[in-house]
Amino acid sequence: MTSLTLCHAEPRRLGPLGTASALLLPIAVVNAIGFLWPVVNLLKMSFREAQASGALGAGYNLDTWTNALTDSFTLELITNSVGVSLLITVLTLIASYPIALYLHRSTGTWRTVLMVLVVAPLLTSAVVRTYGWIAILSDRGLVANALMALGMAEPPRLMFNLTGVVIGLTEILMPYMILALLSGFGRLDPRLEEAALTLGASPLKTFWRVVLPLTAPGMALGGLLCFVLAISSFVTPKLLGGGRVFLLATEIYDQAIVTLNWPLAAALSMIVLVVFGISLTLYARALRRIA
Amino acid sequence: MDERPVSPALKIAAGLMFLFLLAPLLVVLPISFSGDDFMAFPPSSWSVKWYGAIFANSVMMNAFWISLALAFVVTVLSLGIGLPAAYALVRLKPPGAEALSNLFSAPLLLPTIVLGLALLLVFAPMGLIGSFQGLVAAHLIVTLPYAVRVLSTALANLPLTVEEAAGMLGARPLTVFFRVTLPMMRSGLVSTTALCFLVSFDEVVLSLFMTGPRLQTLPVAMYNHVDQQADPMAAAISVLLVVLTLAVVLVVDRTAGLTRTFVK
């Protein structure tokens, strides 16, 4: 009885703004505790004093930052991560473009089936897909056994090095690239290609001069997405790199969990965020030039 | 069914790239039926012993139940917190609604490795590392943005007239919401449930920061297992996980339509 009257009276007493605040309070609390505060704390952490024991000093200084930015290992980490991520982005684009173009041209049930095949890997854990790549690339894996069957005595090592990480991440990021490309393919009217072909352009020239420029916005979006996901990915470099591939994301984890140098881990995270900011700016500039 | 002719070169290129895209999932199935004691492809003999090995492995079984309970709690909380938020943002439109909804989806923009570290640094002094509550909080940060976004879209697409009619006929706001609005957004609710459940069940990076030696989720246990020894048991678990995912996706497809939910 009391709860019923409460139900009726509550919203009326609060008014629309009060009701909205009450409904938004839980999510605001979660967001503040789980996002805003941790991010601010992360920035502060990068200026804390790090002690060899893993404990934190009381004061704040620039030591972690000056050490990180003058240390050749950190600089190598940054250039390595950016370089590998760029390579992966280009390879993902090359591998995804034919699929996206083919999907754009297909219709009906066939298109739905292909779409499910593109989305399905996205819904399976990165651990599962990385494990699949271990099965293909390891010394007793599919590729090595196939090469040995063909008579090669010592097949090249494809795992526990950069090659494996690049192959694995390229495949894992393909669904994102395909979906981004498709979202940008709306401007690609098949009649434009037909017109170019009728007017005497070769198929290659039509692709280069008509199809490619029209799909550039989708390529820029997919490129941004893949670069950002590649530089922050952790599971695949760790498992396929076998501890021999050093990238920003794996180093952040190691510094936080193994070495317990939290200020350095925080500084490296901030560097990742700076790289994010730069790539977003470049994307915005590229988009303006395309349009 | 193709309306436009597709050049054979494009067909071959797309086919090869599809093979590349699906390769890891395609090799996992035969390996899970391997009779070997180590991972090799192709396997030299066949058996189902690795499926039996999962159920005999207490680490994996514990991790599975923890992941299941975690995904359940996270999904219920995401709906319980996300639905009022979506209603307030879409229907009541308080001042600054747009800025708020951007703030609520901001955690998705942060790389999970950075978010994981940020949460570790805050949760560790509070003793939340290796605790179920810590995992729930960490997962909520990434499932809530999905919940709010999908539910907001579902709410915004509902015809207002039905709700107005119910209100005019004397139904109180809460009655309208539970008897009219909620049943009409059923497909949005199903999609949100499936999405939150899958995101939480598959989440590995945040969990790696949050779990301790006593408390592991299934993806973390698998990660640790694969990191130490990539034997065929991981393949058997992978197959079961893919089957589970497919089951969830089928349910969503039946009730809400897959392409409408995930591709938009």
Full residue range of the structural domain in which residue A156 is found: 72-290
Sign of dihedral through CA atoms A20, A26, A27, A29? positive
| Residue B196: inside a domain | yes
**Which pair of tokens denotes residue A23?**
């409904």
B92 vs A18: CA distance, rounded Å? 10
Q: What is the predicted pLDDT for the residue at A52?
A: 66
**Which pair of tokens denotes residue B32?**
């899970």
| Residue A27: inside a domain | no
Q: What is the predicted pLDDT for the residue at B4?
A: 58
> What integer is the mean pLDDT of A241-265?
89
pLDDT of A5 strictly over 50: no
pLDDT of A252 strictly over 90: yes
Sign of dihedral through CA atoms B85, B87, B89, B90? positive
Q: What is the predicted pLDDT for the residue at A198?
A: 85
Looking at per-residue pLDDT, the higher value among A225 and B254 belongs to A225
Of A2-16, B68-82, B99-113, where does mean pLDDT reach its minimum?
Answer: A2-16
| Residue B18: inside a domain | no
| Residue B14: inside a domain | no
Residue with tokens 């952040």: A252
CATH code of residue B125: 1.10.3720.10
Helix, strand, coil percentages for chain B (3-state, nearest 5):
75, 0, 25
Of A30-34, A75-79, A136-140, where does mean pLDDT reach its minimum?
Answer: A136-140
| Residue A11: inside a domain | no
Q: Which of A125, A140, A211 to mutate to test the interface with B (most CBs of B within 10 A)?
A: A125
Query: Contacts by A288-291 with C-beta closer than 8 Å and gap 24+?
Result: A290/A213, A290/A216, A290/A217, A290/A220, A291/A217
Q: What is the predicted pLDDT for the residue at A13?
A: 58
Residue A58 host element (H or E): strand A56-60
Q: What is the predicted pLDDT for the residue at B139?
A: 96
Q: Identify whether the C-beta of residue A165 lies closer than 8 Å to the C-beta of residue A235.
A: no
Q: Identify whether the C-beta of residue A133 lies closer than 8 Å to the C-beta of residue A168.
A: yes
> What integer is the mean pLDDT of A212-232?
90
Q: What is the predicted pLDDT for the residue at A178?
A: 94
> What integer is the mean pLDDT of A78-96?
95
Nearest CA of chain B to the CA of A202: how many Å? 13
The verdict on a CB contact (< 8 Å) between A27 and B144 is yes
Sign of dihedral through CA atoms B167, B172, B174, B175? negative
The verdict on a CB contact (< 8 Å) between A123 and B40 is no
Q: What is the predicted pLDDT for the residue at A226?
A: 94
Q: Identify whether the C-beta of residue B157 lies closer than 8 Å to the C-beta of residue B218.
A: no
Tell me the percentage of chain A whose pLDDT exceeds 70.
93
pTM of the model: 0.86
> What integer is the mean pLDDT of B12-29?
92
Q: What is the predicted pLDDT for the residue at B82?
A: 95
Dihedrals φ, ψ of A2, to 5°? Answer: -65, -40
Candidates B105, B127, B125, B107; CA nearest to B206 is B107
Q: What is the predicted pLDDT for the residue at B164?
A: 86
Q: What is the predicted pLDDT for the residue at B256?
A: 65
| Residue A264: inside a domain | yes
pLDDT of B135 strictly over 60: yes
The verdict on a CB contact (< 8 Å) between B112 and A234 is yes
| Residue B43: inside a domain | no
Q: Give B23's pLDDT tier (boundaries 50, 70, 90).
A: very high
Q: Which of B107, B141, B204 sits opposite A127 (nearest CB)?
A: B204
pLDDT of A4 strictly over 50: no
Q: What is the pLDDT of residues A117-134, one digit of tens each?
A: 898 888 788 888 899 999
Tell me the percentage of chain B whose pLDDT exceeds 90.
42
Q: What is the pLDDT of residues B158-213, one digit of tens each?
A: 888 888 888 888 888 888 888 888 888 888 898 899 899 999 998 999 999 998 87
Q: What is the predicted pLDDT for the residue at B67?
A: 95
Beta bridge partners of A266: none
Q: Which of A128, A166, A270 to mutate to test the interface with B (most CBs of B within 10 A)?
A: A128
Q: What is the predicted pLDDT for the residue at A11?
A: 45
Q: Is A56 helix (H, G, I), strand (E, B) or coil?
A: strand
Q: Identify whether the C-beta of residue B263 lies closer than 8 Å to the C-beta of residue B193.
A: no
Q: Is A49 helix (H, G, I), strand (E, B) or coil?
A: strand
| Residue A251: inside a domain | yes
Q: Which of A11, A171, A175 sits opposite B173 (nearest CB)?
A: A11
Q: What is the pLDDT of residues B78-118, one digit of tens each?
A: 999 999 999 999 988 888 888 998 999 899 889 999 999 99
| Residue B116: inside a domain | yes
Interface of B with A in 198-257 (CB under 8 A): 198, 202, 204-205, 208-209, 219, 222-223, 226-227, 230, 234-235, 238, 241-242, 245-246, 249
Q: Identify whether the C-beta of residue B161 lies closer than 8 Å to the C-beta of residue B237.
A: no
Cis peptide bond prior to B43, omega within 30° of 0: no
Computed over every residue of chain A, the mean pLDDT equals 86
How many separate domains does chain B show?
1
Q: Identify whether the C-beta of residue A46 lies closer than 8 Å to the C-beta of residue A65.
A: yes
Closest chain B residue by Cα to residue A35: B107
Q: What is the predicted pLDDT for the residue at A53?
A: 64
| Residue B135: inside a domain | yes
pLDDT of A12 strictly over 60: no
Full residue range of the structural domain in which residue B249 is found: 57-262
Q: Give B1's pLDDT tier (boundaries 50, 70, 90).
A: very low
| Residue B122: inside a domain | yes
Q: Identify whether the C-beta of residue B119 lies closer than 8 Å to the C-beta of residue A34.
A: yes
Q: What is the predicted pLDDT for the residue at A54?
A: 64
| Residue B9: inside a domain | no
| Residue A3: inside a domain | no
Radius of gyration of chain B (CA): 22
End-to-end CA distance of chain B: 23
Of A143-157, B23-37, B250-264, where does mean pLDDT reach its minimum?
Answer: B250-264
Q: Identify whether the C-beta of residue A139 lies closer than 8 Å to the C-beta of residue A159.
A: yes
B185 vs B91: CA distance, rounded Å? 14
Q: What is the pLDDT of residues A90-113, one digit of tens each?
A: 999 999 999 999 998 888 888 888
Tell me the percentage of chain A whose pLDDT exceeds 90.
41
pLDDT of A87 strictly over 90: yes
Nearest CA of chain B to the CA of A221: how many Å? 14
The verdict on a CB contact (< 8 Å) between B23 and A136 is yes
Q: What is the predicted pLDDT for the residue at A207?
A: 82
A235 vs A169: CA distance, rounded Å? 10
Computed over every residue of chain B, the mean pLDDT equals 87
How many separate domains does chain A show?
1
Helix axes of B232-255 and A126-137: crossing angle, nearest 10 degrees: 140
Q: What is the predicted pLDDT for the residue at A204?
A: 81
> What integer is the mean pLDDT of B119-126?
92
CATH code of residue A97: 1.10.3720.10
